[in-house]
Amino acid sequence: MKLIDSLTSRYKILTHNNRAFFGFLILILYFLMATIGPHLVSLDNIIDYAGRYQGISLQHWLGTDYAGRDTFSQIVHGSTDVMLIAFSTAFFATFMAIIIGIFSGLKGGRIDAFIMKIVDILLTLPQFPIMAIFAGIFTIKDSITFGILLACFSWAPLSRGIRSQVLSIKNKEFIEVCHIMNMSTFHIIFKELLPNMIPFISINFIHIAKNAIIASVGIMLLGIVPLSVTNWGMMINIATKQVGAIYVPHALPYLLSPIFFIVVFQFALINFASGVEELFDPRSRGR
């Protein structure tokens, strides 16, 4: 009952914030597109050269690509992979960053220095050659593993940020009070530190999710995972780099479609994040 009350009140906070609610609705639509969409819209990959770069019509809602294939069906079928890759990367990277950042910030001293040294090394390591080595060793077959691989290269900057946040918060009065009252580390982390960092973490979560879509293109081009022409990042790469759609005026619907869907996705995430901030920070409500 308590849980239902808590969820209801959080839902009210979310709906109270128009921006957040709007973002939430768009994310629901994206979720539906990724889950139900592929069952409703069939993907025909057969090449029809004469039908390439068709404009928007009832038959082709977003026109056709350079091989005469329907762009809308590619967007819908690509959304499953894109969502899975973006969210799994963001989830695993954020998870790793929170654990390492908080541990490092709370422990301090040599442990902190040692962990931050590793983070610095990871930040300066050139990712491309390392991924090329990965390409020779690993074969990745599903989007979640793909997300974990991307997360391995994405957690370091956020962990450094979280560690800095912990360092700035851990000496504040309310944390001191917790220590005096002999409250557990678990309480300090989950009830005091994390809620203060949620806005920062949620914005970074969005950035990591967005970057994962683009980074997945590089990994596909390295051959670690099969090249998917319906991946939105790959669609943009093919349109701009491989087929020169950027130079062909009637190819605009094909070129702009994946860009539009990525932009709206980010827009929804950012708006939703503002609601998340209000959930955890009462002071920001009604601002």
Partner 1 sequence: MKKLAFSLFGCLCFLFLLSCSKAPNNKVILRLDGGWYIPPAFHGNPYAPGGDGTHMHFIWNRLFLLVPATDQNIPRLGLSHNISSDRRVLTIKLRKGVLWHDETPFTAKDVKASILIKYAGGWGDIIRRIKTPDDYTVIFEMREQIGAIDEKIIFNDRIMAPYHIFGKITDRIEKIMEEDDRKMTGPQKEKSAAIFEKKAEIMQEIYSFRPSVPIGTGPFKFSFVTGSDFGLKKFKKGFEAKKISIDEIRILKNVSNDITWAYLIGGAIDVTHPATLQDVTEQILKLNPKTRLILPSDYGEFGFVFNTKKYPLSDIRFRKALAYGVKKDNIRLISYYYSKTVSNYNTGVLHSLSDRWLDKSDLDKMTSYDYNPEKTHQILKEMGFSIDKEGFYLKPNGLPLKLTIAGFAGRSDWVLGCEGLVSQLRKLHIRAEIKTYEGALFHQRLAANKFDIAANFGADYRAYAHPLTTFERYFGNGAYIKSASGMPDQVKYHDGTTLSFKKELHVLNKAREPGLIKKTVGKLAWAANEYLPFLSIYEKNLMIFVVDGKRVKGWPSPEDPIWSASSAGMESVFAYLISTGIVRSVKEYR
Footprint of partner 1 on this chain (CB under 8 A)?
45-47, 49, 52-53, 66-67, 132, 135-136, 220-223, 225-227, 229, 240-244, 246-251
Residue 106 or residue 248: which is nearer to partner 1 going by CB?
248
- CA 148 → CA 140, 144, 212, distances in Å? 10, 6, 11
Angle (CA) 34-36-40 rounded to 5° is 115
Burial class (CB in 10 A: 0-12, 13-18, 19+), 13: middle
| CB of residue 41 to partner 1, shortest distance in Å | 17
- The answer to whether 153 and 214 have CB atoms below 8 angstroms apart is no
Query: Least CB distance from residue 269 to partner 1, whole Å?
Result: 29
Cα–Cα distance list, 110 to 106, 116, 163 (Å): 12, 10, 14
CA gyration radius, the chain = 22
CB of 223 to partner 1, least distance (A): 4
Output the six-digit token pair for 185.
Answer: 């580390």
In the complex with partner 1, the residue whose CB is nearer, 57 or 139, is 139
Of the candidates 57, 63, 60, the residue with the CA atom closest to the CA atom of residue 248: 63
Q: Which is nearer to partner 1, 186 or 247 (CB)?
A: 247
**Residues 116, 95, 159: CA angle, nearest 5 degrees:** 25
- Which CB sits closer to partner 1, 117 or 241? 241
* Comparison of 78 and 105: residue with beta carbon closer to partner 1: 78
Quote the least distance from Cβ 227 to partner 1, whole Å: 4
Beta carbon of residue 226, minimum distance to partner 1 (angstroms, whole number): 4
Nearer to partner 1, 43 or 263 (CB): 43
CA distance 74 to 81: 11
Least distance in angstroms from the C-beta of 147 to partner 1: 19
> What does the block give as tokens for 86?
């973006």
